[in-house]
């Protein structure tokens, strides 16, 4: 897919799918770069004690990946 600008995308238009397999290393690197060291992103035991299946990616990291649907 070629990059699109917002003017070329219509409301309700389907975007191409994008599958990402986020690694713990990517999450760790994002935590360092962003300064967001919340333990739900970095500590498996803490994340599980908070009711999560394990560490989770930062919301803004997932949004960065979602942006690829428009720019790749």
How far is it, in rounded angstroms, from Cα 46 to Cα 39? 6
Nearest Cα to Cα of residue 29 among 55, 61, 54: 61
pLDDT of residue 40: 98
Nearest Cα to Cα of residue 19 among 61, 65, 72, 56: 65
Query: What residue ranges define each of the domains in the chain, with the CATH number in brackets?
Result: 21-71 (3.10.129.10)
Residues 18-44: tens digit of each pLDDT: 788 999 999 999 999 999 999 999 999
How confident is the prediction for the chain on average, in pLDDT? 88
Residues 6+ apart with CB under 8 A from 59: none
Q: Is pLDDT larger for residue 2 or for residue 35?
A: 35
- pLDDT band of residue 4 (cuts 50, 70, 90) is low
32: tokens are 């360092």
How far is it, in rounded angstroms, from Cα 53 to Cα 69? 27
């Amino acid at each position: 897919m070629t990059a699109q600008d917002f003017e070329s995308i219509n409301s309700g238009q389907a975007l191409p799918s994008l599958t990402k397999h986020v690694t713990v290393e990517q999450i760790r690197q994002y935590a360092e770069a962003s300064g967001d060291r919340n333990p739900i992103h970095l500590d498996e035991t803490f994340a599980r004690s908070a009711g999560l299946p394990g560490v989770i990616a930062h919301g803004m990291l997932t949004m960065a990946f979602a942006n690829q649907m428009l720019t790749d």
